[in-house]
Structure 1
Amino acid sequence: MSSLDQPFASYHLWSLVAPAAWQQRWHCQMRRGFIKARQHEPQVKALLTKATASQRIGLLAQKGIYEFHHHIHLLNQSDGVEKVAQLLRLSNSTDEVKQRVLQILKKYYDEPLLLGKRIILLTRGDEGFPKPILISQQRYHFRLYAVMDCVFIESDSILHIIDFKTGKSAFDRRQALVYLLAARYLYPRHQAVASFYNLELCKKSEIISPSKDELDIIEWELAEIAKKHQQDLQKYQEKSSDFSKIFQPNPGSHCRFCPFNEICEFSTFKDLPLQN
């Protein structure tokens, strides 16, 4: 059975298929087409491997939190931030990335959110795709991918999933809901909640604790997304010349920030450099 015969879903795919409310105006289905249907083409693959400054900062920040807790004594050493910076090889980064990540490390060193927590999962952020969760119900089946930053046990035995953020992006509740659905399968004996924490702004989100019925609806929605995306991939495989009909473009000023603007025939910013 090929990958096209196995529907899958994730928060990332959900965000590519259906934008958050504040992103509807700038949403472009063709971006999903490049990422999910044409990702193996040399030009597309090369663009996908280019990390923006924002992406580098997010990854290094996650690695920094991991190193602090992997070498927990560094949170008690006066040169702990410098030691973690060395482990991250920050000196090899651009000035912008270096300065912002250093500020994140200093803020976390001063107020280590996870210190004293019963951590059961803390990722570096570069582990790649996790093993999929196989969801099989009478009306649907799909593979669910959920890459969680951190999971710990609260004092009252509640499982808490936390997702770290950087920059000024708004928190998307859907991401937390996907993680909580995954937790229902991965940790069936625990009640789970989720939240976001911005490492640059030191800002916590509200605690997200959906009902069983809400998670059932989310599971069904993800099944529909997995089905739609699988159908789109099959259509593209059958007739690649219909790429722009299957993954319809939405050109505009937002093309400036798209990693595919230099190869997209619909881009309004073909000749301008990519902005981070």
Structure 2
Amino acid sequence: MSTPDRPFASYHLWSLVAPARGQERWHCQMRRGFIKARQHEPQVKALLGQATAPQRIGILAQKGVYEFHHHRHLLHQSDGVEQVAQLLKLSKSTEQVQQRVLQILQKYHDDPLLLDKNIVQLTPGDEGFPKPILVEQEDYCFRLYAAMDCVFIESDRTLHILDFKTGKSAFDQRQALVYLLAARYLYPGRKAVASFYNLELCKKSDLISINNGELESLKFELANIAHKHQHDLQKYQEKTSNFSKIFPPNPGNHCRFCPFQSICDFSHQPTQSYPMPSLRTNV
């Protein structure tokens, strides 16, 4: 197998390497192994291609917001929700997905968060990987990927990065921090804040900002994650039979929610403790 390219970091990778606060007991490094090291294997690729109902709802909700603002007149029409639902081909989704997405579209139509905002960027949510940002310091270098849902300019010229959510999961501030780091490169010299908005619950997060000291610490943290992950991939490519040692499992009741349960050798084993690799591995 070929040697991996220059190391990369993203919020998604960060979440796979290290759990969100309070989620430690459910975090499994083997999931990262399936997603990032074995993603081209036919069985794994097939499982990765199957979007769950919550994923479908999130994708369609984001695309719905995009369509409302791409066709702004629909925000003012009584049948705007029905027209956006047709644009989304919502009738092809399951009943559960249809009902929840329709509720989200109706709530947004009734109270459109981005109405009259100076929108710089609004993505449909299915645009694929963004162009990487090269983060380069004297002692490290990595590619940063940050796919932002929405960027708009506040009345005081502050850049506001907004990430849309659905479901009941708590907001993970690390995602906002990655966006704020990306904004320093994409919009140099601009003051920026970030926030989350749950389209289903109509719930806003507090505004999140970052100072220069925190920014440098964040870059160092992401560099460590990028290099650790690259090191793990190299070790796996050298000896694929060490998969469970490089990406140790953490089996338990939470396995029933894992997309790889059907092909994981550890998913049906009783809960037991496995050492979690340090984020500070030197590579």
Smaller-chain TM-score range? over 0.9
Q: Which residue is equivalent to 1:237?
A: 237
Q: In structure 2, do the counterparts of structure 1 residues 3 and 71 end up closer, same or farther at CA, with 3 Å as the change threshold?
A: farther
How far residue 132 of structure 1 moved from its aligned partner, in angstroms, is 0.2
Aligned partner of residue 194 in structure 2, secondary structure: strand
**Worse-matched range after superposition: 105-114 or 207-216:** 207-216
Q: Distance in 2 between matches of 1:215 and 1:102?
A: 39
Q: Does 1:164 align with 2:197?
A: no
How far residue 3 of structure 1 moved from its aligned partner, in angstroms, is 6.3
Q: Which residue is equivalent to 2:37?
A: 37
Q: Which amino acid aligns with 2:238?
A: E
Q: Distance in 2 between matches of 1:268 and 1:184?
A: 45
Q: Deviations over 1:92-142 (max 9, x none)?
A: 110100000000000000100000001010000000001100111101000
Q: Distance in 1 between matches of 2:206 and 2:92?
A: 36
How far residue 209 of structure 1 moved from its aligned partner, in angstroms, is 1.0
Q: Which residue is equivalent to 1:124?
A: 124
Q: Which residue is equivalent to 1:226?
A: 226
The normalised TM-score by structure 1 is 0.96
Alignment of 1:104-115 (within 5 A): 104-115=104-115
Q: Does 1:56 align with 2:49?
A: no
Q: Distance in 2 between matches of 1:130 and 1:5?
A: 17
Q: Distance in 1 between matches of 2:246 and 2:24?
A: 18
RMSD value, Cα: 0.9
Alignment of 1:60-99 (within 5 A): 60-99=60-99
Q: Distance in 2 between matches of 1:212 and 1:85?
A: 43
Q: Distance in 2 between matches of 1:233 and 1:206?
A: 37
The normalised TM-score by structure 2 is 0.94
How far residue 189 of structure 1 moved from its aligned partner, in angstroms, is 2.2
Q: Which residue is equivalent to 2:133?
A: 133
Aligned partner of residue 4 in structure 2, secondary structure: helix
Q: Which residue is equivalent to 1:265?
A: 265
Q: Which amino acid aligns with 2:219?
A: E
Unpaired runs of at least 5, structure 2 = 270-283
Unpaired runs of at least 5, structure 1 = 270-276
Q: Distance in 2 between matches of 1:219 and 1:59?
A: 29
CA contact (8 A) 2:91 2:98 kept: yes
Q: In structure 2, do the counterparts of structure 1 residues 3 and 234 end up closer, same or farther at CA, with 3 Å as the change threshold?
A: closer
Q: Percent identity?
A: 76
Q: Does 1:143 align with 2:143?
A: yes
Q: Distance in 1 between matches of 2:93 and 2:227?
A: 41
Query: Structure 1 residue runs of 4+, over 4 Å off?
Result: none
Aligned partner of residue 21 in structure 1, secondary structure: coil
Alignment of 1:162-241 (within 5 A): 162-241=162-241
Q: Deviations over 1:61-85 (max 9, x none)?
A: 0000000000000001110000000
Between the two proteins, the alignment pairs up a number of residues equal to 268
Q: Distance in 2 between matches of 1:268 and 1:240?
A: 22
Q: In structure 2, do the counterparts of structure 1 residues 74 and 140 end up closer, same or farther at CA, with 3 Å as the change threshold?
A: same
